[in-house]
C-alpha cells in the first residue's frame, strides 16, 4: 500500500531497500540564513533520508547547550518563523522526495496563529511537526488542523514513557515515533545499545509506526549501531557542534562550513547504510 505522506513513502522505500534511515537535525538560520540554506540543500545528496529543521526559540527548555546555542545564533542572525517556512519552500522547489519535519516549541506557532501556520507550512512543503512542549494531553488545538491538512505529527518518547504512557502518545502519533534514548535533554549522554534495543522492542508492542532513535549519536559507528536496532538514527547535536566550531571571532561562518557539516552527514549516512538492517 502506498503511504499518503512523504514521510510514510520514505520509510516504505527504506524498508524496500532493507536498511534504516538517517535523520539529520539542524537549526533553521544557524549560523545565518545563507549557510543554513546551503546545508539544507546539500543534505539529500549527502545521504540524509529525512530532515529535521529546528524552529529557533528563545527558551528551548528541552534542549542541551549545543542546540540552545544554535537557536540563539539563529535568532541573532534575524531568523523568524516566517523565514523558516520560506527556507523550506525554497528547498521544496529542488527536492520533492525528502521529508522535512519542523521541530520546536509551541509559542512561536501560537503567536503566528495556528491556522495560518498550518496553511503556510503545507504551502511550503512541510511534512511533519515535532512540538517539544506540547504533550498529547494538550496537543489537539494544533494536532487537529495539522492532521486535517495532511501534516504528520511526531512525538518524543523517552525511557520514562512507560507502558501506561505509551498508548496515549502513539494514539496521536503519525509518521514515525521519535525515541529519545537517554533521560534528560538533547545532546548529552548517549545510551547503551542494549537498552535502546529493549526500548525499541517495547515501543513496537504499541505501534506499527517506524521508530527513529536519537540523542547522543556522534560517530558513524554509533549511527550504525542504532541503525541495526531501529528504523532510523537521528543526529543533531553532533552536526550543530560543527556549525559552532566553524565560526570566526565575530560569529560569522568560516569558508567551507556547510561543506564540513555535509561531510559529517555523508560519513554518518555511510555508517547507517553499512548496518544494512532488515527491518522487522
Partner 1 sequence: MPLILEVEKAYAVAKADPDFWDDFHRHMKHYVGRPSPLYLAQRLTTHFGGAKIYFKRDELNHTGAHKINNTIGQILLARRMGKTRVIAETGAGQHGVATATVCALFGIPCVVYMGETDIERQAPNVFRMKLLGAEVRPVTAGTGTLKDAMNEALRDWVANVDDTFYIIGTVAGPHPYPAMVRDFQAVIGNEVRAQIMEAEGRLPDTLVACIGGGSNAMGLFHPFLDDEEVRIIGVEAAGLGIKTGKHCASLTAGAPGVLHGNRTYLLQTDDGQIIDGHSISAGLDYPGIGPEHSWLSDLGRVEYVSITDKEALDAFQLCTRMEGIIPALEPAHALAHVAKIAGDVAEGHLLVMNMCGRGDKDVFAVARHLGIELKT
Contact 119, 172 (CB under 8 A): no
Question: How many CA within 13 A on the CB side of residue 260?
Answer: 16
Among residues 32, 63, 120, 231, the one annotated as catalytic is 63
Per residue, what are the HEC states of 112-179?
HCHHHHHHHHHHHCCCEEEECCCCHHHCHHHHHHHHHCCCEECEEECCCCCCCCHHHHHHHCCCCEEE
C-beta closer to partner 1: residue 137 or 248: 137
Q: Which three cell numbers stand for residue 161?
A: 514513557
For residue 48, what is the DSSP state? -
Q: Does 188 bind partner 1 (CB under 8 A)?
A: yes
Q: Does 161 bind partner 1 (CB under 8 A)?
A: yes
Q: Does 219 bind partner 1 (CB under 8 A)?
A: no
Q: Does 107 bind partner 1 (CB under 8 A)?
A: yes
End-to-end CA gap in the chain: 17
3-state DSSP call for residue 267? helix
C-beta closer to partner 1: residue 112 or 178: 112
Is 63 annotated in the active site? yes
Please identify, among the stretches 5-13, 53-61, 210-218, 245-253, the one whose residues bind partner 1 according to the rule CB under 8 A.
53-61
Is 263 annotated in the active site? no
C-beta closer to partner 1: residue 62 or 247: 62
Q: Provide, rounded to whole angstroms, the least separation between the CB of residue 105 and partner 1.
A: 8
Q: Does 68 bind partner 1 (CB under 8 A)?
A: yes
Whole-angstrom Cα distance, residue 212 to residue 21? 8
Whole-angstrom Cα distance, residue 252 to residue 196? 38
C-beta closer to partner 1: residue 77 or 161: 161
Q: Does 185 bind partner 1 (CB under 8 A)?
A: yes
Among residues 52, 127, 152, 241, the one annotated as catalytic is 52
Q: By CB under 8 A, name the binding residues for partner 1.
A: 57-62, 64-65, 68, 72, 75, 80-82, 106-112, 133, 135, 137, 160-162, 165, 183-185, 188
Amino acid at each position: 500500500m502506498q503511504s499518503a505522506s512523504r514521510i510514510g513513502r520514505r520509510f516504505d522505500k527504506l524498508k524496500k531497500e532493507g536498511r534504516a534511515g538517517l535523520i539529520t537535525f539542524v537549526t533553521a538560520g544557524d549560523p545565518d540564513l545563507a549557510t543554513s540554506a546551503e546545508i539544507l540543500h546539500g543534505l539529500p545528496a549527502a545521504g540524509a533520508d529525512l530532515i529535521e529543521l529546528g524552529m529557533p526559540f528563545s527558551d528551548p527548555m528541552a534542549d542541551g547547550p549545543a542546540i540552545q546555542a544554535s537557536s540563539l545564533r539563529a535568532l541573532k542572525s534575524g531568523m523568524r518563523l516566517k523565514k523558516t517556512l520560506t527556507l523550506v519552500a525554497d528547498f521544496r522547489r529542488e527536492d520533492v522526495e525528502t521529508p522535512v519535519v519542523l521541530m520546536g516549541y509551541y509559542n512561536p506557532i501560537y503567536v503566528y496563529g495556528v491556522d495560518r501556520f498550518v496553511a503556510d507550512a503545507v504551502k511550503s512543503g512541510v511534512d511533519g511537526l515535532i512540538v517539544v512542549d506540547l504533550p498529547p494531553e494538550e496537543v489537539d488545538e494544533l494536532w487537529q488542523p495539522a492532521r486535517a491538512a495532511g501534516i504528520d505529527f511526531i512525538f518524543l518518547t523517552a525511557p520514562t514513557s512507560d507502558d501506561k504512557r505509551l498508548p496515549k502518545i502513539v494514539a496521536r502519533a503519525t509518521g514515525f515515533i521519535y525515541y529519545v534514548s537517554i533521560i534528560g535533554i538533547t545532546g548529552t549522554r548517549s545510551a547503551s545499545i542494549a537498552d535502546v534495543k529493549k526500548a525499541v522492542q517495547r515501543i513496537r508492542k504499541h505501534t506499527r509506526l517506524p521508530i527513529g532513535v536519537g540523542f547522543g549519536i556522534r560517530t558513524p559507528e554509533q549511527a550504525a549501531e542504532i541503525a541495526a536496532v531501529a528504523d532510523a538514527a537521528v543526529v543533531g547535536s553532533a552536526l550543530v557542534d560543527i556549525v559552532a566550531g566553524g565560526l570566526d571571532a565575530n560569529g560569522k561562518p568560516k569558508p567551507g562550513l556547510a561543506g564540513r557539516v555535509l561531510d559529517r552527514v555523508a560519513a554518518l549516512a555511510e555508517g547507517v547504510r553499512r548496518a544494512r538492517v532488515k527491518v522487522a
